[in-house]
Amino acid sequence: MKITLALSQIAYTVDIVNRVMNPVNDESYRSGSQSIAIAEAVPGTVEAPYGQNLVSYDQEGVLFAMAKLVEQRDRHTAGHCERLAFSSVALGVAMGLDSASLLTLYIGGYLHDIGKISIPDAILFKPGKLTEAEWEVMRSHTVRGEAICKPLKSFAHVLPLIRSHHERMDGTGYPDRLSGDEFPLLARVIQTVDIYDALTNTRPYKDPCSRMRALEIMEEETANGWRDREITAQFVHLNYRVIAKASQGIGTSSDRSMQDSLSNLRRFLAQ
């Protein structure tokens, strides 16, 4: 029987991921690729430490719990993933995207920053400006997140969102400096709502912007060639009508309700 681990029960899984992504002092993880090590650590049944019995768990449940754990490391990001899941699906509906794309956006909203689980607190929560070396570590959360999710075949369609949501239309983003149509469409959707949420909420290094100022900044960045013009315009229009009001009550779900919502969405889109 498979079970979904609660947040208090996934410390071992998190420890595995941290050792995989930072394997300097662990001889057993020095050989082989990161994705192979994670494939052995995350899916299916694993051996618990200190001679405990084997534990079987639902793979998707663990990843959703890990995504929630990323949020709970920082009170400033509470509800961030849920707001992104809601807003990206709403934007996708307004854009006329198909059911498969909407489901991908929903999952991507929750998992896009899962790689931050392996970013040190001293960098993730630093109140001041990051050094170039610290920025290099911070930017690595995209490829780390992709590596964490890559062993699960059911999440293959979400990997481009996790890896590419910090690219820019003019090719100055990261990690691959993609430009134009090379920048995956759904990653552009996630990026749009991610930027808005980051601007309108407190972060360790900044105070929140007003809704109007956030939309102005997004339009300025679009004019500079960083963002997708059509998606930004659609988001601004949708924000006035739907997102700003509906997202106010979002942000209190547990990892269990995340999966329930995902199951409900899957059923709805399958109709």
Task: Quote the CA–CA distance of 120 and 104 in Å, as a whole number.
Answer: 28
Task: Please state the length of the chain.
Answer: 271
DSSP 84-101: HHHHHHHHHHHHT--HHH
Catalytic residue among 2, 116, 150, 206: 116
> Under 8 Å CB-to-CB from 267, ≥6 apart: which residues?
none
Other CB atoms within a 10 A radius of the CB of residue 7 amount to: 14
CB distance 19 to 29 below 8 Å: yes
Task: Quote the CA–CA distance of 212 and 191 in Å, as a whole number.
Answer: 18
Based on the residue annotation, tell me whether 116 is a catalytic residue of this protein: yes
Question: Which are the catalytic amino acids?
Answer: 116
